[in-house]
A and B are shown apart, each in its own frame.
Chain A
Amino acid sequence: MRVRDRIGIWLAWPSGPALAVLPAILLALVCAAGAASAAPARVVSMNVCTDQMAMLVAADGQLRSVTHLATDPQTSAMVDEAKAFPVNHGLAEEIFLMRPDLVLAGTYTATATVNLLQNLGIRVELFDPVNTFADVREQIVRVGKLLGREGRAAEVVAELDSGLKELATSSSGVTALGWSSNSYATGAGTFTDEVMKVAGLTNIAAREGIQGGARVPLETLLAAKPDLIVTGSETYARPAIAQDNFIHPAFRAYVAGGKEVSVPDKYWVCGAPFTLEAVRILRTAAEATGAAR
């Protein structure tokens, strides 16, 4: 009976002047709900790249936790900022206990963990690894929208764009090879390739048709004779054979004349205005090499 009464009321209610007010009330209700989901108050990040974008964009108190990698100077360019936040290790249990209303994660974050959080009713937003500066812009804008901080996101993008405008240069003809542990080289379609291009370098690996990453043995490197070899600044607490390629006598002999330029990984593992520092390092090296010729 009661149910029917309510329906009766609902059916009877919108009449006369009230009818005109209804759309406005509904709109207000939708907007309130929208604002609640657009400006989450307890954001937790599970990926070192979303960590840094969130730290750049979030309002005070909005971001509740970043990953332990954000405090690692090898992978993060924002170690000092990250120290202000409690760290998480990407485990479903610890993240659930933080009672987040929004979780930011990478598409390579453990799928099982992400699925578990979603099943627990937590909103999880996934971010792909960036491959171009266009991707970086898009992701910063997206974080801005998700956090209700569009204005701040636009500022960050503007900072990136003005830096790029100042630093980007046309091809200098200087060839380079990005070479990392286990002799892995970075080819076309990678963020490394994009940064090298912006700095005016010709990526030899991309020119030779390597897509993504591939092993380029020391022999092949020497035969290709790149003007510059771009290495990371990977220094681990303990050695491994994976880094033997950097101490091989043949490699040391080849780079002895200043052919090695090292770009700390933290600048381009993730894309953000701090990536401009990688562009700057590469461009300086390219100009020095070009001038020497």
Chain B
Amino acid sequence: MTDTSRYRLVLAALSLAVVLLFLMSLATGPAAIGFADSMRALLSGDAYEITLIMREIRLPRAILGLMVGATLGLSGAVLQGYLRNPLAEPGLLGISATASLGAVLTIYTGVSLVFPLALPLAALAGAGVAVLVVRAMAGGSGGTLSIILAGIALSAFAGAMTSLALNLSPNPFAAMEIVFWMLGSLTDRSMIHVSLAAPFMVLGWVMLALTARALDALTLGASAAASLGFDLRRTQLLAVGGTAASVGAATAVAGAIGFVGLVVPHILRPLVGSMPSRLLPASALGGAAMLLAADILVRLIAPERDLKLGVLTAMVGAPFFLWLIWRSRRTML
């Protein structure tokens, strides 16, 4: 089997997994509705209450699961290629945390009620600042340690400011929602959230996808890529802007969900080879599959408890992260 045919096979398998998980997500929920009934209600609209459940509750949830997962997988793959760092990922670099902070500031001050677009825009701004700070800290060499330390500092600061903003809110429920912003959830999100976040996520995907060939060249080093004719400033703009737009929008509606962007590219790299241009579409599909699966499990494990998504992704992701650190200790020291 050639590399290309194996790559196509992997993409086909991942696409199939995403389709199946999307359907499973539509069929999962606290209301006991048979699969056939639920699909009929979704398409035909005969049974009023079931149609409401399918179209206004489960469909937006499944769409967001797919899109947020794809965003995290794709941005993780791009960041790892662009920063040439195996530990890069929106959650670990503090990008999700700062996007959360931006979203929190608009929601809990009431600004997003008056001007709904402020929500994704503020999250986007937060994410953008974080990517720029991390990029500046990494310097030209892209040292692993400085990037991770910058991420820790950003996460800690943004997390603390998020807590502060929520604790100061006159709404007694706000303080309890710190958990949502730190661990993420898709519970009872609606089509309003989809329409708010989807355009920015798609825009971000396009920008990230455009970095693919430059990232291939960057595997040879920055100077080699430049001599091959790639405009590295343009690549930087696309990577930073694309991550900010997609991760910002995803975080604005689902909270900060960690580790998806770390785990997915690492699992898929041995299957599709180390070419970033091949890793990007595979990671997007893989991220979507992972988040859809996590969101299904959240509803199956503790349906009445509103378990947070970040709990599940961290259970898989944190041990994986430790293993990566173990493996890369020598290069870090």
The answer to whether A238 and B30 have CB atoms under 8 Å apart is no
Which one, B29, B49, B192, contacts A249 given CB within 8 A?
B192
Which residue of the partner chain A has the closest CB to B181? Answer: A241
Chain B residues with Cβ below 8 Å from A248 are: 56-57, 188, 190
Instruction: Tell me, yes or no, whether B173 is within 8 Å of chain A by CB.
Output: yes
Interface size on A, residues (CB 8 A): 27
The residue in B170, B188, B191, B305 that gathers the most chain A C-beta atoms within 10 A of its C-beta is B188
The answer to whether A225 and B188 have CB atoms under 8 Å apart is no
Which one, B32, B173, B303, contacts A242 given CB within 8 A?
B173
With the chains together, A250 CA to B188 CA distance in Å? 10
With the chains together, A112 CA to B177 CA distance in Å? 26
Instruction: Tell me, yes or no, whether B109 is within 8 Å of chain A by CB.
Output: yes
Which residues of chain B from 94 to 116 have a CB within 8 Å of any chain A CB? 107-110, 112-113
Also in contact, A238 and B170, with CB within 8 A (given A218-B57, A222-B52, A254-B49): yes
Task: Give the Cβ gap from A241 to chain B, nearest Cβ, in Å.
Answer: 5
Instruction: Tell me, yes or no, whether A33 is within 8 Å of chain B by CB.
Output: no
- Taking chain A's interface residues, is the majority helix, strand, or loop, or is none over half, making it mixed? helix
Chain B residues with Cβ below 8 Å from A183 are: 188
Chain A residues with Cβ below 8 Å from B32 are: 223
With the chains together, A217 CA to B305 CA distance in Å? 10
Which residue of the partner chain A has the closest CB to B169? Answer: A238
Which residues of chain A from 205 to 260 have a CB within 8 Å of any chain B CB? 214-215, 217-220, 222-223, 225, 236-245, 248-250, 253-254
Instruction: Tell me, yes or no, whether A182 is within 8 Å of chain B by CB.
Output: yes
Which residue of the partner chain B has the closest CB to A254? Answer: B52
Which one, A181, A223, A241, contacts B53 given CB within 8 A?
A223
Which one, A215, A223, A239, contacts B306 given CB within 8 A?
A215
Chain A residues with Cβ below 8 Å from B136 are: none
Which residue of the partner chain A has the closest CB to B56? Answer: A250
19 extra interchain contacts, Cβ-Cβ under 8 A, other than A236-B172, A248-B57? A183-B188, A214-B304, A215-B304, A219-B30, A219-B31, A222-B53, A236-B171, A239-B108, A240-B171, A241-B180, A242-B173, A243-B171, A243-B173, A244-B188, A245-B188, A249-B190, A249-B191, A250-B190, A253-B56
Show the binding face of A for B, using Cβ within 8 Å: 181-183, 214-215, 217-220, 222-223, 225, 236-245, 248-250, 253-254
Show the binding face of B for A, using Cβ within 8 Å: 29-33, 49-50, 52-53, 56-58, 107-110, 112-113, 169-174, 176-177, 180, 187-188, 190-192, 303-306
Q: Could you jot down 27 A-B contacts, CB within 8 Å?
A: A182-B173, A214-B304, A215-B304, A215-B306, A217-B30, A219-B31, A219-B57, A222-B49, A222-B57, A223-B31, A223-B53, A237-B170, A238-B174, A239-B113, A239-B171, A240-B107, A240-B174, A242-B174, A242-B176, A245-B188, A248-B188, A249-B56, A249-B190, A249-B192, A250-B190, A253-B52, A254-B49
